[in-house]
Chains A and B, each alone.
Chain A
Amino acid sequence: EPEVTQTPSHQVTQMGQEVILRCVPISNHLYFYWYRQILGQKVEFLVSFYNNEISEKSEIFDDQFSVERPDGSNFTLKIRSTKLEDSAMYFCASSERDTQYFGPGTRLTVL
């Protein structure tokens, strides 16, 4: 069964550094998403992406964040200058239409 994959599984970075989280969505899916879950809190929507454009974004998704589909298979989330409060589990998801399928997540730790 096709799955969403994410790399790395765990990333540790210093405050102020840039990080790129990578995702490979399910191959025939057209819609891509990023969510995050701060420890002990809800899973929160960050952004959705379709046809090389952002479809929807939350207030969390500020200028520090960007998304890109650099090639036909990868979907990335970049955080330009990480803050301590960016420490969270980041989930990528993809959908063919309305049902979203999630990857295993990348745990980001900002020191």
Chain B
Amino acid sequence: AQSVTQPDIHITVSEGASLELRCNYSYGATPYLFWYVQSPGQGLQLLLKYFSGDTLVQGIKGFEAEFKRSQSSFNLRKPSVHWSDAAEYFCAVGAYQAGTALIFGKGTTLSVSS
């Protein structure tokens, strides 16, 4: 079965601390992986994506993610969190083909404490 698991429902991080959000996937074909962020009242904003090449990908807002095929993981990281990073983060997987469905994880809510 195709699925995405985000094991952490809610994470609280101090401002300035590092962050890692976990994502594991199960997908029958070569996965095309995404991280999206949703701020309150906003839509899903694309942070970064990975299909092939360098397994460490850089995204917007200082985020990066590392693809590990052996672990079926695509974890999102940020070295120093800002208060404005508080939001819900979604990992998604799809095929490298237009018009196909993305499968989303349940999301991780990030709170940032001062």
Report which B residues bind A (CB closer than 8 A).
Answer: 32, 34, 36, 41-46, 49, 51, 90, 92, 94-107
Contacts and interface: CB of A to CB of B under 8 A. Distances in A.
Contacts of A103: 43
Interface residues of A, number: 30
Nearest to B96: A98
B104 A44 contact: yes
B96 A104 contact: no
Interface of A: 4, 6, 30-31, 33, 35, 41-45, 48-50, 55-56, 58, 91, 93, 95-105
A48 B100 contact: yes
Contacts of A49: 99
Nearest to B32: A98
